[in-house]
Amino acid sequence: MTVTLNIIEIGARGDGVAEENGQRYFVPFTLPGEIVEAEPRDKRGEGIVADLVEVLAPSRHREPAPCKHFTVCGGCALQHWRRDIYAGWKNELIARALTQRGVASPAFEPALAGLPKERRRADFVVRRQGRRAVAGFHERAGQQIVDVEECFVVTPKLAALLPSLRTVLAGILPEGGSADAIVNDTDAGLDVLVRPHKRFTLSLESNQKLVAFAESADLARLSWGDRATAEPLVTRRQPRLVFGDATLEPPPGAFLQATRRAEQAMREAVASWIGDARRVADLFAGIGTLTAGRPWRATLYESDKPSVAVVEASGRRLGGGKLTAVHRDLFRNPLMAAELDVFDAVVLDPPRAGAAAQSIELARSKVTWIVYGSCDPGSFARDAHTLQAGGYRLEKLVPIDQFLWSPHIELIALFTRAPLRSAKAKSEDAR
């Protein structure tokens, strides 16, 4: 049985939200102000997910989606929303998270808007079905794979790889077998890691097919296996990323910022905000995207051993102790305040969970500048509240949309120590 709903807002997952007779509904692919007919399907949290049947009264902000896979592919949720309105909503996600935590915030800096066809990193899923294979992304709220024929999110080089990827893995994967193909567009070309979901031994013939695929697709490198144990099958050009004075050779399947523009904007923000720093600690550093290759002496802390090895190698080439790496799990073993105090600035870019334990120690430290890159407004707001309670002030914040048409928003922010106030000033405030 269907229900008629008035969409009042867009929720954090990108679904339209409605309330009817005290019941909350989440309806994908709808917009605020629309009246829609929907069919209730599943309970989710405090509401019910409903499938869109028909838009009875469309929003004036609704636009035709460019991609034919939209509504089926799980990669995009908001292609139907006018871009300027969509961008404002993403800023609101950050502002709302800060308000809920009671974090005082300045006016945001101009946001870095996402653009079509600029994602240079993708995790494709490939599954053999009979004599052929399908390749693309998981469907929305399901495990089936959308066999992607076009994509308006990834770079043309990544999209163009899919047909040949299908062909080669159709002849290698066992029937019903599947694999992830992690593709990074590096400064030296495409770096591909094929990670089968179930281990099996590659035959000599399969190896030869993969080598031929790497040649025909002009890959820089092709590797096989899990990230921790991946073995390059062929390296035609060593994948590399150039950050200022530093050249890093990423391990197979390395984490990169999703777009080059975002990476550059974040690096420029860090350099502008802490340019006078001499010693910098980079926490949850990955391969040093935000701090490598700058004039300061940077110490990078990272739990991923292949990434640490990459930074160490780059540091040796640079010389002079400008770039060093330390293997450390900052979730289990955060840097203590006394360890942090030797640095002029701290840069951190943690996973979605944020850096709760590390933020407590940062709040106790005497570090002058803290630059926090975040991929989750909620965990960022929690950690910002901790820093604020410890005497830090949120000075600058730049929203960054690296994942176009998704409900995902990132940011980079600057915290500084609030100036110590005299007893006289405090007394005057009390009056």
Active site residues: 375
Residue 326 has pLDDT above 60, yes or no: yes
Report whether 32 contacts 10 (CB < 8 A). Answer: yes
What pLDDT does 43 receive?
92
| Residue 172 sits in the same domain as residue 268 | no
Q: What is the pLDDT of residues 84-137, one digit of tens each?
A: 999 999 999 999 999 999 999 999 999 999 999 999 999 999 999 999 999 999
Beta bridge partners of 372: 348, 413
Most confident of 42-46, 174-178, 355-359: 355-359
Range of the domain at 9: 1-61
Amino acid letter at 379? S
| Residue 32 sits in the same domain as residue 150 | no
Beta bridge partners of 298: 280, 323
| Residue 267 sits in the same domain as residue 403 | yes
Residues 6+ apart with CB under 8 A from 424: none
Does residue 254 lie in a domain region?
no
| Residue 410 sits in the same domain as residue 319 | yes
What pLDDT does 427 receive?
46
Query: Where does the pLDDT of residue 143 fall: very low under 50, low under 70, confident under 90, or very high at 90 and above?
Result: confident
Does residue 430 lie in a domain region?
no
* Distance (Å, whole) CA 117 – CA 206: 32
| Residue 278 sits in the same domain as residue 224 | no
| Residue 93 sits in the same domain as residue 153 | no
Residue 44: CATH number of its domain:
2.40.50.140
| Residue 335 sits in the same domain as residue 398 | yes
Does residue 76 lie in a domain region?
no
Q: Dig out the tokens for 91 from the structure.
A: 């800023």
Residue 142 has pLDDT above 90, yes or no: no
Does residue 242 lie in a domain region?
no
**Section 328-345 average pLDDT:** 98
| Residue 286 sits in the same domain as residue 408 | yes
Separation of CA 315 from chain center: 26
Strand order from edge to edge, sheet including 121-129: 145-147, 132-138, 121-129, 178-186, 189-196, 221-224, 231-235
| Residue 159 sits in the same domain as residue 215 | yes
| Residue 281 sits in the same domain as residue 409 | yes
What pLDDT does 93 receive?
97
Burial class (CB in 10 A: 0-12, 13-18, 19+), 223: buried
What pLDDT does 418 receive?
63
Q: What is the pLDDT of residues 157-200, one digit of tens each?
A: 999 999 999 999 999 999 999 999 999 999 999 999 999 999 88
* Distance (Å, whole) CA 335 – CA 331: 10
* Distance (Å, whole) CA 186 – CA 310: 15
What pLDDT does 45 receive?
86
Compute and round to an integer the Cα radius of gyration of the chain: 24
What pLDDT does 419 receive?
55
Q: What is the pLDDT of residues 199-256, one digit of tens each?
A: 888 999 999 999 999 999 999 999 999 988 888 999 999 999 999 999 999 999 999 9
Residue 372: CATH number of its domain:
3.40.50.150
**Section 350-370 average pLDDT:** 97
Does residue 81 lie in a domain region?
no
What pLDDT does 424 receive?
44
Q: pTM of the predicted model, to two decimals?
A: 0.93
What pLDDT does 141 receive?
80
Residue 422 has pLDDT above 50, yes or no: no
| Residue 56 sits in the same domain as residue 132 | no
| Residue 283 sits in the same domain as residue 210 | no
Residue 201: CATH number of its domain:
2.40.50.1070
**Section 277-284 average pLDDT:** 97
Does residue 71 lie in a domain region?
no
Does residue 431 lie in a domain region?
no
Does residue 357 lie in a domain region?
yes
* Distance (Å, whole) CA 62 – CA 176: 39
Q: What is the pLDDT of residues 377-421, one digit of tens each?
A: 999 999 999 999 999 999 999 999 999 999 999 999 999 996 544
Q: Dig out the tokens for 411 from the structure.
A: 């940011």
Whether the CA torsion 108, 11, 159, 243 is positive or negative: it is positive
What pLDDT does 231 receive?
85
Mean pLDDT taken over the chain:
94
The tally of domains found in the chain comes to: 3
